[in-house]
Amino acid sequence: GQNIDQPTEMTATEGAIVQINCTYQTSGFNGLFWYQQHAGEAPTFLSYNVLDGLEEKGRFSSFLSRSKGYSYLLLKELQMKDSASYLCAVRDSNYQLIWGAGTKLIIKP
Amino acid sequence: IAGITQAPTSQILAAGRRMTLRCTQDMRHNAMYWYRQDLGLGLRLIHYSNTAGTTGKGEVPDGYSVSRANTDDFPLTLASAVPSQTSVYFCASSEGSTTGELFFGEGSRLTVL
């Protein structure tokens, strides 16, 4: 079966750096997405990786290793507003999105 | 503001009643999707439409139906609601079925008693 694994919850301190990991086993691979979802709100797009390597976008970076079935989302200079759930999703060989359950990130002052 | 509009935002429904969740997008996206989100689980695809006039079943289609008469609208119908359909429902769209990120509506919180 297809599976996306990410930690259920993480805690970090304001101003610090945090890395959220995502491992996947899917039928084929056509890209990996990270979304941010604040409590009670809709998911919003953060990043997309289809080739191995690091994609940087401001304070957020996303890394992909297709051979390892692994990605991480790196958040720098954490702010209180970064408290949210972070969802990892993989597009499989049928171009369907397989979603992880999300990682709830708690930022403490 | 361009995007996806869902209605209603919240609804309490008696079991056995029929309910339609509305979804409209103004981005002229070809593909549209309905997901449900339950605590501790990832987003699960109910139904999708790759283009106007076509629909397909997702991971959890039982008890739900959809139609896609035009590009903009993609309503989701629960023919006879059951308590296990209590969930938050998100409509989403993407430029194509194989390309682009998904844009989500604000969600519809449905409680079936």
Sign of CA dihedral A32, A53, A28, A100: negative
pLDDT of A95: 87
- pLDDT band at B80, cuts 50/70/90? very high
- Residues of chain B in contact with residue A101, where contact means CB-CB under 8 angstroms, are 40-42
pLDDT tens sequence across B89-105: 999 999 988 888 999 99
Q: Which residues of A touch B (CB under 8 A)?
A: 4, 30, 33, 41-45, 48, 87, 89, 91, 95-102
Stretch (H or E) spanning B108: strand B108-112
Q: Do A96 and B45 touch (CB under 8 A)?
A: yes
What does the pLDDT read at residue A34? 97
Lowest mean pLDDT among A21-25, A98-102, B2-6: B2-6
Mean pLDDT, residues B78-87 taken together: 97
Q: What digits encode the pLDDT tens for the residues A50-88?
A: 999 999 999 999 999 999 999 999 999 999 999 999 999
| pLDDT classification of A94: cutoffs 50, 70, 90 | confident
Judged against a pLDDT cut of 80, whether residue B1 lies above it is answered with no
Mean residue pLDDT across chain A: 96
Phi and psi angles of residue A8, each rounded to the nearest 5 degrees, phi first: -70, -40
Of A45, A95, A101, Cβ closest to residue B42: A101
- DSSP character string of B35-48: EEE-TTS--EEEEE
User: At residue A108, does pLDDT exceed 90?
Assistant: yes
d(CA B27, CA B4): 8
Q: Would you say residue B82 has pLDDT above 90?
A: yes
Average of per-residue pLDDT across B11-21: 97
Mean pLDDT, range B70-74, rounded to an integer = 97
- The reported pLDDT for the residue numbered A55 is 94
Taking an 8 Å cut-off on Cβ atoms, the answer to whether A97 and B107 are in contact is no
Instruction: Give the CA angle between residues B96, B101, B106 to the nearest 5°.
Output: 105
- What pLDDT shows up at residue B62? 97
Residue B18: pLDDT above 80? yes
Write out the two tokens for A83.
């408290």
User: Which chain B residue's Cα is nearest to A6?
Assistant: B42
* pLDDT(B5) > 90: yes
* pLDDT value for B100: 83
Inter-chain touch B43–A99, beta carbons under 8 Å: yes
Instruction: Give the rounded percent of residues in chain B with a pLDDT score beyond 90.
Output: 90
Query: Among B41, B97, B107, whose Cβ lies nearest the Cβ of A101?
Result: B41
* pLDDT above 80: residue B2: no
Distance from CA of A32 to the nearest CA of B (A): 10
Q: Between A4, A43, A91, which is nearest B104 by CB?
A: A43
What secondary structure does DSSP assign to B16-40, as a single string? T--EEEEEEESS--SEEEEEEE-TT
